[in-house]
Amino acid sequence: MGRPQESYLSRTMYISSEVRFYSVKDIHEMTGWSHTTVEKLFNDPKFPSSDFGRKKIVEAHALIEYFSVKHERERDRFWR
């Protein structure tokens, strides 16, 4: 008996029907970055955050996609 075949989805991309949002506090706790740095990240026009009442939030898949691309401080005017 050989190894079971991988399904098409497991080879291509993880797909989830769960929608999860993270706040500034959540990202601060996950990364260990300062609260000020995380707030600045959420205020960056290129960062995929949204306002939810008085809070800023980011959807989990958008967060993963954002961090899958290299961002350099020297090339981004917002972080200078």
Q: Taking the model in full, what pTM does it have?
A: 0.70
pLDDT in tens, 55-71: 999 999 999 999 998 87
Q: State the DSSP code for 80.
A: -
- Sheet with strand 21-23: strands edge to edge: 21-23, 55-59, 49-52
User: Which DSSP string corresponds to 42-55?
Assistant: HH-TTS-EEEETTE
H-helix segments, the chain: 8-12, 24-31, 35-43, 60-67
pLDDT in tens, 48-57: 999 999 999 9
